[in-house]
Amino acid sequence: MLHLPSKRTLLFFALLILSIGTVPAFAQNDQYDRADFQRDSIYASKLAETIDSLFQEEQYDSCMLIIDKALVFFVRLGLSTFKIQALTHRGAINRIKGRFSHAMADFSEVLNYYRQTGNTRGEAATLNQIGAIYRLRGDYPTALDYYFKSLANYQKVNHQPGISSVLNNIGVVHLYQKLYDKALEYYNKSLAIEKNLKNDEGIGTSYLNIGEVYRKKGDLQKAADYYLRALVYANRTNDLDAIGTIYNELAGINIDIGSLNDVLKYLELARKTFLTTSSPQRLAECEINFGKYYQKVGNLGQAILHYSKALEIADSNNLLDIKSDAHHQLSQIFDKQGNIAAAYSHFKKHIATRDTLFNEENTRKSIQAEFFYKFEHQQEEQRIAQAKKDAEYAERLRREKAVKTSLIVIVSLGAILIGFILFYLHKIKLKNEELNYHQKEILEKNEELQQQQEEILAQRDEIERKNLILEQSQQIIADKNERMISSIEYAKTIQSALLPKPEKLSELFTDHFVIFQPKDIVSGDFYWVSNDERFTYAAVMDCTGHGVPGAFMSMIGNTLLNKIVIEWGVFLPSLVLEALNEQLREALKQKETGNIVLAGIDIAFITIDKQDKKIYFSGAARPMLIIQNGDKQLVKGSIRSTGGFQPANVKPFENITLELASPTYIYLFSDGYADQINVEKKKFGLQRFIDIIFQSYTMPMAAQRNLLVQMIENHLHGTDQLDDICVMGLRID
């Protein structure tokens, strides 16, 4: 049975293939600007994630289609890491599918890259993969050579999971060469590491491999015990390949001991699993056990069919050990049937294949590969020990030399010190005579100094008094500042309470995000939503100023919107803005002569008509970005604000009506995001802001928000935020 991808995966895969078809169009221009590279890098990252996901889900055919097209894109953008990851997955798929020459080509390129970049762990993993290819081809000496090189590299970086994997693979080679005690030695080393790492999958694999060794040695009871231990871990990790292998091996044990009741049930479960996991070697082993079962019950015709099927799979995938076993079993059956020619033909092929696997030269090379690894490991340990001894000897010589030098310096300094002491004794005698002469002068000046001291003490007391007054003043200022900040923090709590709750936004819209970043503690930007049976409303306001003045304006704007829309029932955006303008000017007494309060509110306001499937928009100096059917449109509002100074011949606010499609993406925002200035005195820019949204609008709203926040942080790069920021993204289905 084929492992089919889900409908969602198929749809995403189809979209990717169509997108990849446009890669040459991107590559026509050698000069990428920053926006193009940013867009294509995000796209390449999604491709790499999809490749990795399909590989992990074992959807190999779909994975190969994407890899072959994506590699051209990765190379064009110079994304070496994505390229090497894709080549590694392609090499592994080619190895699993039995396309060994293609797998070798991919892994050779990957190996060269890791060696050039000095990535020891990556080199070790690739050597391990190449060793697996040679093992599957039956070239055990070469496989061991690569495995031991991989093991040495993993030990250099002390990567325990990698060390365990290679030890397990070395055990597999020894098992196929019938060196059972050697295989047990390496399997037990791998098991000890996996237990230390508490890796259920690795522990289960080790138990499975140890059980296989005991079965080959003829200890069927011990083999069954280890297989049952492995089955516990395989079920825990849902390792289908391991589960199928265990059922196959348990069936083989029951055949050997003549307990045939559950054999066919085990074999059918194993074969079904191997067809799902596309494992030709395991499938061939399962067909061998089918043949042995039918041979045991006397149905030689069925036995021949299954042995022939195993032989066909082994020939197609160059599985020499299974090929040898299948020829041997067919030789025995044809001999029983009296078909001497067929029996002799299969026996000769069995001997030839067996000799290819186990000739003396192969055994010598295998032992030599292990010997070279142990010799090089021992040489490295001796080199380290000798280097340690050399360092200790050099340190001892350095210390002896330092002691001699110190003694010479001490003696020299002692002689110089004695000379200085004699010289200074003479100088002290002369000074004493001079001091006696000056002592009288000092006594005379003492009285004068005492008078000056009294004056200084008086000045000190005055300075201390003034310092005390200054400290008290500073404390008063600090207390006032603390009360002021506390009041503003409380104002922030009040302002936050007025903002729509996330639950309200989730109730009204399919998906949403809000970026609300005040420049100071409180904000002059504000966002507002409401709804009734027919209409859903949303708005983003940008009030004059920021901090406390802006916060006052935002609270006035919020109150007036609730009054106009909820209490008065005004639903058309243009009428809402006209009413807001009148109410705001009246509230701030801006119509009175001589009033200099010019504060106003820029606002983008939408009404969604759920009954007629319409969107109504009006803006006061703020636009709306809408995306429908893959097209974006920046809908501009009127150039006038609400409140503040009003020209004599002012135009009324206009309504703009749009059809509501599914899905529709709407973005309302203040000018704070686009107007932020970086250290180079450059604005972020409205067009760049719109481009980022258009490149990512199909992503979940939370992911869009994270991207926008990251981009503005990168732009500011440590510079102070100059204005309040408010962006609201809405998805409507």
Task: Please give the DSSP secondary-structure letter assigned to residue 135.
Answer: H
Beta-carbon contacts of 87 under 8 Å, excluding residues fewer than 6 positions away, are: 71, 106, 107, 109, 110
Could you tell me how many residues make up the chain?
733
More confident residue, 124 or 404: 124
- State the pLDDT at residue 220: 84
Instruction: Indicate the SS3 state at residue 139.
Output: coil
- State the pLDDT at residue 15: 45
Gap between the terminal Cα atoms of the chain: 38
Residue 542: phi and psi, rounded to 5, are -125, 100
Beta-carbon contacts of 516 under 8 Å, excluding residues fewer than 6 positions away, are: 499, 523, 525, 527, 725, 726
pLDDT confidence bin for 660, thresholds 50/70/90: very high
- State the pLDDT at residue 663: 95
Q: What percent of the chain has pLDDT over 90?
A: 41
CA distance 611 to 581: 28
Asked whether 285 and 266 are in contact (CB, 8 A), the reply is no
Lowest mean pLDDT among 41-50, 366-375, 612-621: 366-375
Judging by beta carbons within 10 Å of its beta carbon (0-12, 13-18, 19+), is residue 565 exposed, middle or buried?
Answer: buried
pLDDT confidence bin for 375, thresholds 50/70/90: very low
Contacts 24+ apart (CB under 8 A), 550-555: 550/522, 550/523, 550/524, 550/525, 550/724, 551/491, 551/492, 551/495, 551/522, 551/523, 551/524, 553/524, 553/599, 553/601, 554/495, 554/523, 554/524, 554/525, 554/526, 555/494, 555/495, 555/498
The pLDDT tens digits of the residues spanning 127-145 come to 999 999 998 888 888 999 9
Lowest mean pLDDT among 93-107, 246-260, 679-693: 246-260
The pLDDT tens digits of the residues spanning 450-479 come to 877 777 777 787 777 777 777 776 776 766
CA distance 564 to 541: 15
**Residue closest to 362 by CA, chosen among 320, 330, 409, 414:** 320
Which residues make up the CATH 3.60.40.10 domain(s) of the chain? Answer: 499-732
Average confidence score pLDDT of the chain: 83
pLDDT confidence bin for 529, thresholds 50/70/90: very high
pLDDT confidence bin for 368, thresholds 50/70/90: very low
- State the pLDDT at residue 712: 93
Lowest mean pLDDT among 75-84, 132-141, 440-449, 541-550: 440-449
Q: Is the pTM of this model over 0.75?
A: no
The pLDDT tens digits of the residues spanning 571-612 come to 999 999 999 999 998 888 877 766 656 789 999 999 999 999
The pLDDT tens digits of the residues spanning 623-658 come to 999 999 999 999 999 999 998 877 767 889 999 999
Instruction: Over range 200-216, report the average pLDDT.
Output: 89
Task: Please give the DSSP secondary-structure letter assigned to residue 677.
Answer: B
Instruction: Over range 3-7, report the average pLDDT.
Output: 40
Lowest mean pLDDT among 108-117, 159-168, 559-568, 645-654: 645-654
The pLDDT tens digits of the residues spanning 671-697 come to 999 999 999 899 999 999 999 999 999
| Bridge-based pairing state of the strands 525-531 and 535-543 | antiparallel
Instruction: Indicate the SS3 state at residue 561.
Output: helix
**Residue closest to 100 by CA, chosen among 129, 67, 142, 122:** 129
Token pair 């110190």 is found at 406
Phi-psi region of 170 (alpha: psi -120 to 50; beta: other; left: phi over 0): alpha
- State the pLDDT at residue 630: 93
Is the pLDDT score of 384 beyond 60? no
More confident residue, 547 or 130: 130
Instruction: Over range 57-67, report the average pLDDT.
Output: 90
Q: What percent of the chain has pLDDT over 70?
A: 88
H or E element: which one contains 645?
none
| Bridge-based pairing state of the strands 656-659 and 642-643 | unpaired
**Residue closest to 323 by CA, chosen among 293, 296, 348, 294:** 348
pLDDT confidence bin for 296, thresholds 50/70/90: confident
Asked whether 264 and 293 are in contact (CB, 8 A), the reply is yes
Instruction: Over range 140-162, report the average pLDDT.
Output: 92
- State the pLDDT at residue 102: 92
Asked whether 542 and 602 are in contact (CB, 8 A), the reply is yes
- State the pLDDT at residue 20: 44
CA distance 84 to 375: 33
CA distance 29 to 636: 33
Instruction: Over range 361-369, report the average pLDDT.
Output: 48
The pLDDT tens digits of the residues spanning 392-409 come to 666 677 777 777 777 787
Structure tokens at 715: 């732009």
Task: Please give the DSSP secondary-structure letter assigned to residue 633.
Answer: E
pLDDT confidence bin for 246, thresholds 50/70/90: confident
CA distance 456 to 381: 77
Instruction: Over range 229-239, report the average pLDDT.
Output: 84
Q: What angle do CA 35, 39, 41 make, to 5 degrees?
A: 115
Lowest mean pLDDT among 36-40, 41-45, 234-238: 36-40
Task: Please give the DSSP secondary-structure letter assigned to residue 638.
Answer: B
- State the pLDDT at residue 388: 61
**Residue closest to 160 by CA, chosen among 189, 201, 131, 119:** 189
Classify domain 499-732 by CATH architecture.
4-Layer Sandwich (3.60)
CA distance 428 to 490: 74
